[in-house]
Structure 1
Amino acid sequence: MKGKSLPADLLKRYLADTCTEAERRKVDEWYFHLDREQEAAPHFFNEQELLQRIRADIAHTLPTPEEAPVVPLKRWWYLGGIAASLLLLLGVGYLAFNRQAADPYTASVPDTADWTVHSNSTKKIERYSFPDQSIVWLQPGARLSHPAAFMQSDFREVRFAGEGFFEVVRDTLHPFIIYSGTLKTQVLGTSFNVKAYENDASYHVSVLTGSVAVSTPASSSRKEEVLVLKTNEQATYQNATRSLTLEPMVAKTEKKLPWQPASLVFNDTPLSEAVIQLQRAFQIKIELTNQALNTCRLTVDFNKQRLPEILEMINTLLGSTYELEGDTIRIFGEGCSD
């Protein structure tokens, strides 16, 4: 579709919802590439360019004034239909532009009907699997969307807001791209954390294994900025200035973040003592909401497992549950008998 125009009658059938499914996909792809053809950065709607492009495509299919000095009555209906099509297309574009300006989460990748949308509405860290078997550990409130099938495109594209730890299956032919507002994170296969809450002044991308490329879109006043992060490096993106900075992550000898793996051994250990060890291993506070939980004892080995995996195992063993609020984990349960 790139670089090609479309006949006006096809645009008219598309808007009248009388075109075939193949024609619909053709128009969708054309519309998607309207002002991406000269950009490597995420898509932004340009109303003036869209107007010129649609006028050019429609004019290309109509005769010149010299060729058609007289327009029959039916022709006026045809021209009216084209004008209505033009207005409807511009109306859709205008709404898309305003929505993107209000919500940067939708600015990078256009909405499509067959995308899967998911939000973590629980108070737990949730494990989510993508179509390629890549996974993400979603913090409460995080949300994402992605195509129902990745392999139909050259890229594995995801829109994301909130915080999540990604473990991406390696595929050199299909780069994995995450759009968070105007921040773009691209990988081939690695593990990393993205913290990109919409109302925060800054976003953070932290790499646990492999390498990650983060970039900001080009503008009239500046070129696209790209940083390549290696293991144990973190990029900070300032939304106001669209600037990127690189810094070392927490040293391995210091406390671990919740998504970094840890090895812990509990041998008939009271839950109250296990909680102390977990708090020492991870940068998080853990509370037992019922004093009867202190009598519970754990015998289990955790070998290089992440905090949400450890919590799920403990809850399975004790019949308890937990909730995450900010930097505090609260464990609920009836306790254990002596």
Structure 2
Amino acid sequence: MKSKQRKFLSRHLSEYQSDRPGAARKKIIEDWFAAKESEAAEQGSRVNTELGDEIFSQITAKLSNPVQKQHSANVRWAIAASIVFLLAFGSFFILKNRSLVNSAPEMLYDSFTTGNGEIKKIMLPDGTAIYLNAATTVRVPRNFKSAAFRRVMLDGGEAFFEVKRDTLRPFSIATGAYLTTVLGTSFNINAYPERKGYQVAVRTGKVMVEKIVGKQILLLAEKLVKNQVLSDKVDAQEPQLTNEPTEKFANWRTDHSSYLDQMDLVQIGELLSRQYNIKVEVKAKGISLPKYSFSLKYSSLPQTLAFLAIKTGMNYQLTDHSLIINPAK
């Protein structure tokens, strides 16, 4: 690739970085990169600097086409995706007739997991703190400190994030189909299976939430702020945004308490199983169960069950190894 072309791409890379794109758009670039990497690996030594020239020509053609200017956002992201690809294999494009490495190294992660009844705090290299509730898994890329942007994977469970502010490197959390992006803030994400969806409650700062649906990226919330809670469930037609004190959603990290947010007894049973590490069965076949919203302080299991019996009218049988819950009739 010619020096003039490299300068062109470097200039647009700076523009791309200053735009501080969201995590969803980052993923678009990564997917584009993965596809190009796969194509290059298949072609092997037949790939040469002509590919770099071809990409450059395509970019400049889009920039010079008046019709395309109205789609400047798409053009910018096409540029960004091309730049990521070119930079990753920069030495290949600069040195002519140099063959491409057949396969790029696999992304490596450090995994952090909590068991039932366990809470853990981890510190990231940038000063960000992550609190993991029971039965939660978070993965952190091993190149987190040196990467161009900060990203972690919340594979399941619940976590509270205190993100160290860095305006040049946005922080994103990938949770299934959901992408949460911030610059520096604190918030709670709940993605336990019984929720059948996703919830984020903001304590400080601003949070953006996007969702991948098929090949589309939906913006669920551009700027969630303090005391705003976004809930998205698979059985709901659209996400629900509420304004309420969000600290109650994250009190678990200090006193092991739980906030039951529109949960029925089956969901509460799953919570008890996780918190007290006990097998729970709810006899609810063929019964329409009401939903409850209240704070549940952490205490001994017998005390907790007595409290739940008063609040819900349920009865139960508790042994050393199992708990059977019978909903009120």
Give the TM-score normalised by the residue count of structure 1: 0.46
Bigger-Rg structure (1/2): 1
More helix by share: 2
User: Per chain length, whose mean CA-contact separation is higher, i.e. which structure has more relative contact order (CA < 8 Å, sep 6+)?
Assistant: 2
Give the TM-score normalised by the residue count of structure 2: 0.47
